[in-house]
Amino acid sequence: MNARTARQWMVTHEWMVKPMAQTEWIEGKGLMVWLAEVFSALGTGLYLVALFLGLKEEFALTAFWAGLLGWVGIAIFKLPLHAFYLGKWYRFWRAFPPFSKAWRTSWFARGIVFTMIFLAFGAIQLVLQGLIGYKVVAFASGAMDANYVFMVLAGVFCVMTAVYCGFAMSYCKSVPFWNTGLLPIVFLFMGVADGLALAMATGLVAGQEVTEIAEQATRIMLILNSLLIVAYLVNANYQSETAELSVKELVRGHVAWVFWLGIVILGILVPFIISVTSYFSGPSSLGLLVFAICCHTIGAFSLKYGVLKVGIYRPLLPKAHAY
């Protein structure tokens, strides 16, 4: 046993006296949490947009495929990524009622319950939407009435699935940057904006012209998101010293490139410029649209990465200058 190993327990724990970033949910295996959260935002955003598209007969097919992609994003990517992150993944069932009543207090447990209910209602709604999209049944029929019911049910649980991770993070008093009610709203709105971009892509593939309506909505969502992000950062900046440190780290620190390049330029500015340009000079070219959609998606990955990465713990003792 070397000297270093021998004194493992004799060193203090810097994360308790220095404002240090959490690593559990962003480093090593923790990257799975990041990816799961991204797929959660993209999946729920896309599904919500699909619900709105499904209200119009001419977009029924796009609504079906967009909804299906969103559903798959949650069922095939988000949930397995979350499960494989766990130390004991085969105990995943322990979070579900009736095996656990933790959903009463735990946002994590609530999120799993919301997700499962959303997947169940979403599956039924997608079957109905598929029948309508492929004109197996008429749009103005009983199937559409049933579809409306499941749209509402799936939509409610989709929103809950979209916001729960924000609430789970904002519950943590130890990380002041997350400890704000704005976080779930930021995640929800960014998810919807990304969903609009992906819905445009789905429309292109499905051969239905949803670009115009999606771009109109995108313009509003991007302005709203920019304001929300600014409000979030300003709020964090004045919330506590540790949260201020998180903001500095995000804006000027070693993850600044993720913020400026990923979130601001690719996630907001580029798609916004492209959509504004199309407003004045007619529809954008296919290449430009694909580029905007890619930028949007990179923005979704960057936002979650940045927020998770600068989640700095408040030190156990009041002040440390070592950071």
Residues that bind another protein (CB under 8 A): 1, 4-5, 7-18, 22, 24-25, 85-89, 91-92, 94-95, 100-103, 105-109, 112, 168, 171-175, 241, 311, 313-314, 316-322
Alpha helix (H) ranges present in the chain?
3-6, 14-17, 31-53, 60-72, 79-85, 107-133, 142-170, 182-206, 211-239, 241-251, 256-257, 270-281, 286-309
For the bound state, the minimum distance from the C-beta of residue 119 to another protein, rounded and expressed in Å, comes to 18
* Bridge partners of residue 312, in order along the sequence: 21
For the bound state, the minimum distance from the C-beta of residue 313 to another protein, rounded and expressed in Å, comes to 6
For the bound state, the minimum distance from the C-beta of residue 204 to another protein, rounded and expressed in Å, comes to 38
For residues 227 and 316, which CB has a smaller minimum distance to another protein in the complex? 316
CA distance 82 to 92: 9
For the bound state, the minimum distance from the C-beta of residue 74 to another protein, rounded and expressed in Å, comes to 18
For residues 89 and 257, which CB has a smaller minimum distance to another protein in the complex? 89
Cβ 218 vs Cβ 275: under 8 Å: yes
Which amino acid, 62?
T
For residues 21 and 192, which CB has a smaller minimum distance to another protein in the complex? 21
For residues 197 and 250, which CB has a smaller minimum distance to another protein in the complex? 250
For residues 5 and 281, which CB has a smaller minimum distance to another protein in the complex? 5
* Residue appearing with tokens 């969103």: 70
Q: How far is CA 50 from CA 47, 123, 275, in A?
A: 5, 13, 20
Closest CA to 206 of 61, 37, 11, 26: 61
For residues 24 and 212, which CB has a smaller minimum distance to another protein in the complex? 24
For the bound state, the minimum distance from the C-beta of residue 100 to another protein, rounded and expressed in Å, comes to 5
CA distance 77 to 108: 17
CA distance 312 to 68: 37
Sequence-distant (≥ 6) Cβ neighbours of residue 56 within 8 angstroms? none
Cβ 262 vs Cβ 302: under 8 Å: yes
For residues 42 and 168, which CB has a smaller minimum distance to another protein in the complex? 168
For the bound state, the minimum distance from the C-beta of residue 92 to another protein, rounded and expressed in Å, comes to 6
Cβ 166 vs Cβ 19: under 8 Å: no
For the bound state, the minimum distance from the C-beta of residue 239 to another protein, rounded and expressed in Å, comes to 13
